[in-house]
Amino acid sequence: MSNDLSPADFELISRLALDRAAIVLESGKEYLVSSRLGKLAREEGFADASGLCDAVRRERSRGPITTKVIEAMTTNETLFFRDARPFDALRKVVVPELMEARRTSKSLTVWSLACSTGQEPYSIAMLLREHFPELANWRVKIVAADLSTEVLAKAAEGVFNQLEVNRGLPAPMMVRYFDRQGTQFRIKSEIRSMVDFRPINLAERIMLSPKPDVVFLRNVMIYFDVSTRERILREVGAQMAPDGYLFLGAGETTLNLDVPFDRIDLERTNCFRPRGVGSRAITPKEESWNRPSTTFAR
């Protein structure tokens, strides 16, 4: 099957990705788009990517094939405990501080946005269970959301293969929190029940509940233009707790964005808090010095 994609087909998919998912596919991404459409075309029984694009046109960009094309444009690369520093910060600073602040309400909520196949929210759940047993008597909710219904279904199932559990998952946690089923590993119900998976399109208005104390929004903002990044961060900021924490990906920044967050100095992470919270904020000059140059796929 040919991976060639005509300029008209690339324009169609680029416009669709921007309109429906706020994903920017610039010139030079033709091979990436062609490769992903070629895989989807084979799965859906089309001769090639061009035939798939014709089906999108026939659906007027609003049918089931179109939805699968949009989902194919999202990047779902992930692993357990990806980039250890945010999880270290969660364990050492964030959760202990929030537990003290919430000692009366005994409630803690974490959002994992663009959660892909679930490794990030499950990592958070395992960390909380492993290091904070006193939370067993709290109302703890992890809300995990993604655009792709396909990856959400896999995440909710909680079944991973050998390669997936070998990527970032400490062996003791694999033993404690997974049941082996042949060549597959199923996460135990005590961890699965902590996570609520929901569909969300970051290109549209973000409406989730309950209000989060911590938000993980990592390795997805790099795919959006400036105005979309600003809107997403404003909507997140409007909904999260005023003393909450926001984690972005290692290569992402709020520098030069009009958003209600300040970057803070916390365990060498890319962490932000709502503007006005007491932690020492990093100045724009410091951020430009310290911001990582490497970007990662989600």
Angle (nearest 5°) at CA 257 between 203 and 225: 35
Catalytic: 218? Answer: no
Nearest-angstrom CA–CA distance, 102 and 96: 10
Comparing C-alpha atoms, which of 255, 285, 284, 282 is closest to residue 268?
282
- Residue of 241, 293, 239, 233 lying closest to 263 (CA atoms): 233
Type of residue at 21: A
User: 210 preceded by cis ω (within 30°)?
Assistant: yes
Handedness of CA 180, 181, 182, 184 (dihedral sign): negative
* Structural contact between residues 73 and 25, judged by C-beta atoms closer than 8 angstroms: yes
How far is Cα 223 from Cα 78, in angstroms, rounded to an integer?
16
Name the burial class of residue 169, with classes exposed (0-12), middle (13-18) and buried (19+) by CB atoms within 10 angstroms of its CB.
buried
Residue 146 annotated to the active site = yes
Catalytic: which of 9, 48, 83, 146?
146
37 by Cβ neighbours in 10 Å (0-12 / 13-18 / 19+) ranks as: buried
Answer yes or no: are the C-beta atoms of 77 and 297 closer than 8 Å: yes
Considering 9, 20, 36, 82, which one is annotated as catalytic?
36
Query: Can you tell me which residue has the tokens 């779902």?
Result: 76
Residue 293, class by beta-carbon neighbours within 10 Å (0-12 exposed, 13-18 middle, 19+ buried)?
A: exposed
Residues designated catalytic: 36, 146
